[in-house]
Structure 1
């Protein structure tokens, strides 16, 4: 499977989360503690929105292991962003190539995924044909994750993100059942339009991959008043991760099974995620 993180808040250099924490994303690429695979070396990617400038995100993706990429380290040490997604990949059977590396991008949207569509090669034709013909030309790779993204776009991700992802999940499960595939969908997903971040944790078998969100910054600052890094963060700062980046007590809360969350200005949201049958 894979590991990912989503950050929104006070602009920080990418290295502050990719490299510096005790269990940073780069550390997880070699020593994942909660993932299906210990090593995630089949490519990486980061997508970020600029502090000042157009809302369109930039992408940097590579096919090698994240721990050994000098360009990623160089970029992470020099780029600051108020909102970014990062991903390290462990292939579930599709090719190791740049177009299969996350995040996936469409206009101002980014998407990362951990999990799989079981027996994707069997379901791929039916699922791909359900993609809006206007979006089909932008399918560049061969992964189930990219097809999921384009199905969500097809079902209205831009206007009703939660409903669109529920319809995507419902279609995957319906097509899976039609082909006799048990428990076809396993996913944790983050997607963003550059303003808000939507995160999802769901699996057909009800035993989803790990996902955590950071405790409110003000609560952490009260718990750890001596921590200078925490004092520098705004109360709007949030982080969602496949697995915690450190052992700071009280810093991480598990995302409930079959749920979604919205990180946004003001009060965040959390709700029940229920696939919608097509």
Structure 2
């Protein structure tokens, strides 16, 4: 469910990665090649990007399918950035949250996306939600599993965790509370990307000499340099380095 992509590198027009490749994120909205759950990602989309000299990203999000939005095509043609995150959404359950449920979620310098589903939502995640302060619950972006996952991640970021720990610990907590959940998370602050492979596909294409890395649900072309991330793995990446760390489930 859902497809997403994050990029760090020399500034490029957003369309270079989001719509021009043969198997781009836009095409994945109706014809993903490696998506294990769901078939069409037409329940919203979004892109967040960083402008030079500004640590707080801008976002463009909509509730409908990306292929029908001509403004998105115009925007990605002219906007250039050296760091961005984009996603197309396949809803977990019917709902009225619309654009608010579309990734990327954002706060301060961070952009976040969740590809997957919290199993037995919302009942299984109730104890984790109850542990959040009421103020943070009232600030949930939407009434969806992804919005709660983002709240759990954001809380750790604000408490000072690095981006890898901020993803890994909520994944462990959620997998314990709701076994069988699919928790592929993607996070960037414009300088680093962190991602988890937990129940669905995750790939990366690294070009250290060029200072360029792409992390995505699936390859957007047939470049032989794409590498698949093993399931139950945390990926952290900068423009010149990629590290993979195995993740273990928390014992009951």
TM over 0.5: yes
Deviations 1:52-105 (A, max 9, x none): 232001111001100110111111111111110000000110425011000001
2:213 and 2:239 in contact (8 A); partners too: no
Distance in 1 (alpha carbons) for counterparts of 2:56 and 2:74: 22
1:26 and 1:66 in contact (8 A); partners too: yes
Match of 1:73 in 2: 73
2:210 corresponds to 1:196: no
Quote the RMSD (CA, aligned, Å).
Answer: 1.9
1:130 and 1:151 in contact (8 A); partners too: no
Distance in 1 (alpha carbons) for counterparts of 2:222 and 2:81: 25
Match of 1:254 in 2: 228
Match of 1:163 in 2: 165
Match of 1:271 in 2: 245
**Among candidates 203, 221, 224, match of residue 212 of structure 1:** 203
Cα deviation for residue 142 of structure 1 reads: 1.1
Cα deviation for residue 243 of structure 1 reads: 1.1
Distance in 2 (alpha carbons) for counterparts of 1:94 and 1:109: 27
Distance in 2 (alpha carbons) for counterparts of 1:239 and 1:210: 14
**Among candidates 188, 201, 217, match of residue 242 of structure 1:** 217
1:31 and 1:39 in contact (8 A); partners too: yes
- Once the two structures are superposed, the pairs formed by residues 226-237 of structure 1 within 5 Å of their partners are 235-237=210-212
2:8 corresponds to 1:3: no
Deviations 1:241-276 (A, max 9, x none): 11111112x221101121111112543322112345
2:27 corresponds to 1:27: yes
SS at match of 2:16: helix
- Residues 76 and 167 (structure 1), Cα distance of their counterparts in 2 relative to 1, 3 Å cut: same
1:132 and 1:154 in contact (8 A); partners too: no
- Residues 156 and 133 (structure 1), Cα distance of their counterparts in 2 relative to 1, 3 Å cut: farther
Aligned length: 249
Which ranges of structure 1 fall in alignment gaps of 5 or more residues?
Answer: 177-182, 203-207, 219-234
Distance in 2 (alpha carbons) for counterparts of 1:153 and 1:135: 10
Cα deviation for residue 277 of structure 1 reads: 6.2
- Once the two structures are superposed, the pairs formed by residues 55-70 of structure 1 within 5 Å of their partners are 55-70=55-70
2:204 and 2:226 in contact (8 A); partners too: yes
Larger Rg: 1
TM-score w.r.t. structure 2 length?
0.91
Which ranges of structure 2 fall in alignment gaps of 5 or more residues?
Answer: none
